[in-house]
Amino acid sequence: MARIDLKNLSIHFGGFKAVDDVSLTVNDGEFAVYLGPSGCGKTTTLRAIAGLVSATSGDILFDGKRVNDLRPSERNIAMVFQFVSLYPHLSIAENIIFPLKARGVAKADIARKLDWVTGIFKLGDDLRRYPSALPPGARQKVALARAVIREPAALLLDEPLSAIDEQFREEMRWELGHLQRELGVTTIYVTHDQREAMSLADRIVLMNHSKIVQVAKPDTIFFQPSSVFAGQFIGSPSMNLIDLVPVSGGFRLGASEVVLTHAELPEAVIRNPRALKLGVRPRDVRLVSGAGHPLPVVDVFSVGREKYFAFRIGDTIHQGFDTLTDSTPGGVVFAPDGLMFFDAETGMRLETGRIAA
């Protein structure tokens, strides 16, 4: 088990900055999830920690010791890859014990450890089979067993669930989270799936354009996103973003006639009136009945008990999501607790202190 520190880590490929001045500490036993759109540098960061790519500048420290120049095999880490990387010519058992054999661990120890992981992952029936005989989900479980058997200082997971079918993925996700807590191994997990990140992480490291955008607990990042990007990247369906145009006595909502008066707004917003963006999660949009509503509902469809709907502000269409069974919804209102305000220019959120957490 180890604490991992990244200090001003930069990785350049030719002229392209894949990772740009990233600093972060992952604590011993923590489950950290790197989240971000593809190409944001999260996988490159992980590979640098593993030693598969080298840092252009900056340091990587394990328990305070610089490991930049150590080979992957000398860093005592284990890794699971996005696409299954089992050795097809070896049986499941041989695959699992490969890291031990490669290091020349004694036979008795190998057998004991194999028993141990086989028990944890319930792989007893498959040990003699070959990877091609297992479904992709089960193969990834074997890859995980192979990673864990060495009791590594850190477990690095590169989108391990993304190549698995939906149904099995859910199951694996629970299992993975449970396992990590049981083993208490420092884990860095890379994904572009925000739901995976939200459900697994002790802390989420949100990246975009080669930089860290926000590091926070899942709830914090959801309720107090640092920026428009963080707010929109997390949550599904995505957060609505509405222009707030300063007018006398308040802010006009986009191209509509609706004006939010100063009385309805938090202190931080009215203190310095300027162009802002209003963020509202679809969950925080409520359906109301009545005709001639200024924020009219234009379309509704039901999925079981839930209603997804579209509403109009001026000419732009936004989304909402509610469980009310109102027969003739006419318009929408926003839950006051769900309003988030962002600076239109910088995209940063204004600290309003009124967000429910």
Partner 1 sequence: MSAARNKAIDHLGRWLLLGLLLIYTVYNLGPILWLMISSLKGRADLFAMPPTWIFTPDLTGYQSVFGVGAARESASSFGVFDSLVNSVIVSSVGTTLAVLLGTLAGYVCSRFDFRGKGDFLFFVLSTRMLPPVAVLVFYHIMFAKLGLADTRTGLVLISVFANVGLATWIMKGFFDSVPREVEQIAIVSGYSRLYAFRHLVLPMVKGGIAATAGFCFIFAWNEFAFSSILTTTQAKTLPVKISTASGATGIEWTQICAAGVVLIIPVLIFFYLIRKHLLMGMTFGVLGRS
Partner 2 sequence: MTDTALRPRSTGRLMIIGFLSPTVILLLFMVAYPIFSLIYYSFHNFSALRPNEPMTWAGLDNYTYLLSDNDIWARFVFTGKFVFLCVSMQMIVGIFVGYQLQKTFRGRDVLFTALMLPMMLSPVVAGFLWRYMLNSEWGVVNYLLTVVGMDKVDWLGQSTAALWAAAVVDTWMWTPFIVLLATAAFRGIPETIYEAAEVDGASPAYLFFRITLPMSAPVLFIALILRLIDSFKQYDLFFALTGGGPGSSTETVSFAVAKTAFSYFYTGEASALAMILLCIIMGLAMILVRHLSKMGEHD
Residues 45-84, mask of contacts with partner 2 (x by CB under 8 A): -----xxx------------------xxx---xxx-xxx-
Q: Scanning the structure block, which residue is given the tokens 């917003």?
A: 269
- CA 280, CA 231: separation in Å to the nearest integer? 9
Peptide bond into 237 cis (omega under 30): yes
Closest to 45 measured CA to CA, from 70, 69, 9: 9
Stretch that binds partner 2, among 4-12, 95-103, 211-219, 256-264 (CB under 8 A): 95-103
Tell whether residue 103 is a contact of partner 1 (CB under 8 A): no
- CA 222, CA 224: separation in Å to the nearest integer? 6
Of 73 and 325, nearer to partner 2 (C-beta) is 73
Tell whether residue 87 is a contact of partner 2 (CB under 8 A): yes
Residues 156-195, mask of contacts with partner 2 (x by CB under 8 A): x---------------------------------------
- CA 238, CA 283: separation in Å to the nearest integer? 10
Q: Are 31 and 200 in contact (CB under 8 A)?
A: yes
Of 51 and 152, nearer to partner 1 (C-beta) is 51
Q: Which of 64, 71, 124, 305 binds partner 1 (CB under 8 A)?
A: 71
Q: Which of 10, 56, 68, 85 binds partner 2 (CB under 8 A)?
A: 85
- CA 207, CA 194: separation in Å to the nearest integer? 12
Q: Are 9 and 23 in contact (CB under 8 A)?
A: yes
Q: How distant is the alpha carbon of residue 241 from its chain centre?
A: 21
Residues 137-156, mask of contacts with partner 2 (x by CB under 8 A): ------x--x---x-----x
- Contact partner, 305, from partner 1, partner 2, none, Cβ < 5-8 Å per class: none
End-to-end CA separation in angstroms for the chain: 32
Tell whether residue 267 is a contact of partner 1 (CB under 8 A): no
Tell whether residue 74 is a contact of partner 1 (CB under 8 A): yes
- CA 201, CA 29: separation in Å to the nearest integer? 12
CB of 253 to partner 1, least distance (A): 50
Tell whether residue 70 is a contact of partner 1 (CB under 8 A): yes
Q: Which of 25, 57, 65, 69 binds partner 1 (CB under 8 A)?
A: 69
- Dihedral sign (CA 247, 249, 252, 257): negative
Tell whether residue 88 is a contact of partner 2 (CB under 8 A): yes
CB of 320 to partner 2, least distance (A): 42
Q: Which of 27, 98, 151, 326 binds partner 2 (CB under 8 A)?
A: 98
Tell whether residue 103 is a contact of partner 2 (CB under 8 A): yes
The CA distances from residue 123 to 81, 91, 113, 129, 139, in Å, are 19, 12, 13, 10, 10
Burial class, 32, CB count within 10 angstroms (exposed 0-12 / middle 13-18 / buried 19+): buried
The neighbour count for residue 161, using CB atoms within 10 Å, is 23
- Contact partner, 24, from partner 2, partner 1, none, Cβ < 5-8 Å per class: none
Length of the chain (residues): 357
Stretch that binds partner 1, among 67-75, 114-122, 130-138, 189-197 (CB under 8 A): 67-75
Residues that bind partner 2 in the complex, under the rule CB under 8 A: 50-52, 71-73, 77-79, 81-83, 85, 87-89, 98-99, 102-103, 132, 143, 146, 150, 156
